[in-house]
Chain A
Amino acid sequence: MRRIDTACVIDDDPIFVYGIKKVMKVTNFCDRILVFNDGQEALDNLKEIILINGQLPDVILLDLNMPILDGWQFLEEFIKIPCAKKIIIYIVSSSVDPEDVLRAKSYERVSDYIVKPISVKKMKEILQDFENTFKE
């Protein structure tokens, strides 16, 4: 069984970020959390990590509605970057628009679409899901 080492949260809402950190702590979700406030910041930093061959996150929780580079734009750019490590991407958004849900499904790299708010219960499910994915 594999444990999540680093989780990356890309969201501009500080309350949500505060909340998810708490939930992750409560659920013992991971060891390390990377937080970026918009898609651009996330992209720049992740590129940097790949460049210096640093520690990439195992899981990315991606919001859609963000300034500068929104979730979709980030996705478009990010999937172009060649990367050896398999990173699981979850979209975490308030939107219940079926179009968003469908669009998320169209990306192979996106594992699931999670509607906010996120709860301890939901987080546990994600954890379970992750563990199942990497069960040998």
Chain B
Amino acid sequence: MNMKREKKVDVDLAPDSKENYLKKELYDLVKKDSAIFEFLQEAAIDGLWFWDLNIPENEWMNSKFWTTLGYDPSVMPHKASSWQDIIFKEDLQQVYANFSRHAEDPSHPFDQIVRYRHKQGHTVWIQCRGIILRDDQGKPRKMLGAHTDITKIKKAEEDLKQQIDNYMHIIEGTGLGTWQWNVKTGETILNQKWAEIIGYTLAELEPIALDTWVKHSTVEDQEKSNKLLKDHFVNNTPFYECEFKMKHKNGEWIWVLDRGKVVSWDAEGNPEWMVGSHQEITKKKKDLERNKLFIKQTPSAIAMFDNKMSYLAASQKWFEVCGIKNTKVIGKSQYEILPQISKSWRSKYQKCLKGEVFKNYEEQIQKENGDIQWLTWELQPWYSNENKIGGIVIHVSDITKIKKEEELKSLLRVTEDQNERLKNFAHIVSHNLKSHSGNFEMLLDLYIQENPEIENHEIIQLFKTASKNLSETISHLNEVVLINTSLDKNLVSVGLKKVIDEVTMSVSAITIESEVEVNNFVQDDIEVLAIPAYLDSIVLNFITNGIKYRSKERKSHITLTATKNSEYIVLEIEDNGLGIDLTKYRSKLFGMYKTFHSNIENSRGIGLFITKNQVEAIGGKIEVQSKVNQGTTFKIFMKYEKN
């Protein structure tokens, strides 16, 4: 029996002569006075038994033996069989084994932990020790045993084991990599999971050192981490926490949340051992990155503020609409970013932070450069998970374009109305005025028929001219009205060269007489989209104009060429005639009844007006260049058929 470990007084130990006198006295007392033994067995031991090995069914148990197990000692018989039913059967094996070995060899201790079923059902852990008392021949006679209730210790031990198991499960379950690092020596211990996070086994990473981490991280992250570690060491932050990237075996970068804490300090107060964990947060990080991108690239102006009006997020559009040039605003206050912001806005922010919502569908704002900007905006508080106002979200749309379009549309409506009225007016001119002027003409004609002698009367002559002019004017008006009411209708592809040739032919009498050379250099294959009658009229007008306004000081020519660009066929009609002073007349050139050469007969000032209308009616336009007394070049842009 290993008695040296025992701190309790053992009654059977023979006193040493060199013992402390108090010890000796106590031993003597025990021998003489049974009350002392009585006290010891009740106070210091959780059960005492004395077993007769010759008559094995006889066993004496003290009261504490039974009370420890929840039984009433007065009803329990002093028989070995009385505890047989409440001891755990599986523990008996150990008891028997130890008994037989102790019986053979007294130096082998009879000492084991056994479990009993308490009367109330729970387990009682008992440390059971005993010695065999032998006769002079060394034959076992009796056996003395003592019980110590170690249930509490056992339970604490169990709990601790359970806790460790739990922690192990948690570490495994959460996929936490763990590390231990001796700050002073650099010794580093990692777990399997730490290696697995970056795609390795622990063995692959051998030898493990601080360098193992360094090799798999970036220099910037190392600096960041060092700074945070220092914070923890020097400023004694509760723990160290850092997010960084680590290079996975597959070559990709993953994100890790690293946390740790110093657990031991040396005598000088320097950190010694530090423990911590690695948690992979790549997904969270990517989600966050995506959310950031989402906000940044959202095609509308949105910003999110905390309850102190500091920026949490803002979209690119927000910076554009608000005219913010420095886009590093996160964490900065709106008042710092836009110091010029008005009082009314400040008060809106404050009210919104208290839960009010503001909306404005149209607000006109004058920008720094004087431009007018139309905005629609919305201020809303946002709520945290605890349903508290966490800050505000502002959404602004620049509706300037829409507003402008609206304005344009309403302008278009007005124009359409006006156009409609103009058409009606033109219709009246065409039908009513025309019939009146027709009547005039007819009556005058009849009057002269009936009274031939007045035909040469001056007033009658003037009357005739006036009547003819009136009819002519009305017929011009009519032409214009008709052009404008047949816009873009019935366009057909027409060979340009042929049209010019035909027109030239039809006016050949005049060209020969006025000695004007018409050069048609337009290629055969050029075709334009036009109403044939208009195209004839357009070409005719420019050629007759060229003849009419030729210079008599030189040999006159009119040259026609054509080029094709991506949108138009450009017909250039160049003459070397009188030219037009464009600085004076450009704005009036294509007006009605505008003439610029007083000495030219038949200059009615209607040709260019009608021509321009006709060109526009077939989707084209006219440009003009001219120098007085050098000549004029008209460029007529006409659409063409694209495959």
A interface residues, Cβ below 8 angstroms from B: 13, 15-16, 19, 22-23, 26, 65, 94-98, 116-120
Contacts and interface: CB of A to CB of B under 8 A. Distances in A.
Interface string B457-498: 000000000000001000100100010000000000000000
A119 B478 contact: no
B475 A96 contact: yes
A15 B439 contact: yes
A16 B445 CA distance: 13
A121 B313 CA distance: 89
B442 A119 contact: yes
Nearest to B445: A119
Given A117-B441, A118-B442, 7 more contacts: A15-B439, A26-B449, A65-B435, A95-B430, A95-B431, A96-B478, A120-B449
Interface class of chain B by DSSP:
helix
A26 B439 contact: no
A97 B449 CA distance: 30
Contacts of A19: 439, 442-443, 446
Contacts of B434: 94-96, 116
Contacts of B437: 117
B438 interface: yes
A19 B449 CA distance: 12
Contacts of A119: 441-442, 445
Nearest to B471: A117
Contacts of A98: 482
Contact of B442 (A16, A95, A96): A16
Contacts of A13: 435, 439
B238 to A, nearest CB: 92
A108 to B, nearest CB: 25
Given A26-B449, A97-B482, A117-B445, A65 B431 contact: yes
Interface string B407-446: 0000000000000000000000011101101111111011
Contacts, number: 58
Contact of B439 (A16, A95, A96): A16
B430 A117 contact: no
Contacts of A120: 445-446, 449
A117 B475 contact: no
A119 B434 CA distance: 15
B573 to A, nearest CB: 27
A94 B443 contact: no
Contacts of B432: 94
Interface class of chain A by DSSP:
loop
A26 B431 contact: no
Contacts of B446: 19, 22-23, 26, 120
Interface residues of B, number: 20
3 tightest CB-CB pairs across the interface, nearest first?
Answer: A117-B438, A94-B435, A117-B442
Contacts of A16: 435, 438-439, 442
B439 A117 contact: yes
Contacts of B471: 117
A80 to B, nearest CB: 27
Residue among B442, B475, B482 with max Cβ neighbours from chain A (10 Å): B442
A98 B489 CA distance: 13
A117 B442 CA distance: 6
Contacts of A65: 431, 435
B356 to A, nearest CB: 64
A13 B434 CA distance: 13
Contacts of B445: 117, 119-120
A23 B445 CA distance: 9
A74 B622 CA distance: 45
23 contacts: A13-B435, A13-B439, A15-B443, A16-B438, A16-B442, A23-B442, A26-B446, A26-B449, A26-B450, A94-B435, A94-B438, A95-B430, A96-B430, A96-B434, A97-B430, A116-B434, A116-B435, A116-B438, A117-B438, A117-B440, A117-B471, A119-B441, A120-B449
A44 to B, nearest CB: 25
A98 B490 CA distance: 13
Contacts of B435: 13, 16, 65, 94, 116
A23 B465 CA distance: 21
Nearest to B467: A117
A65 B436 CA distance: 13
Contacts of B478: 96
Residue among A19, A98, A117 with max Cβ neighbours from chain B (10 Å): A117
Nearest to A64: B431
Nearest to A23: B446
Contacts of A26: 446, 449-450
B429 to A, nearest CB: 11
A97 to B, nearest CB: 7
Contacts of A94: 430-432, 434-435, 438
A118 B439 CA distance: 9
Residue among A13, A26, A65, A97 with max Cβ neighbours from chain B (10 Å): A97
A17 to B, nearest CB: 10
A66 B521 CA distance: 52
B612 to A, nearest CB: 20
A38 B431 CA distance: 17
A98 B471 CA distance: 18
A16 B435 CA distance: 9
Interface in B132-152: none
A102 B216 CA distance: 89
Nearest to B440: A117
Nearest to B438: A117
Interface in B531-588: none
A12 to B, nearest CB: 10
Residue among B431, B435, B449 with max Cβ neighbours from chain A (10 Å): B435
A116 B449 CA distance: 18
Interface string B587-629: 0000000000000000000000000000000000000000000
Nearest to A120: B449
A19 B435 CA distance: 12
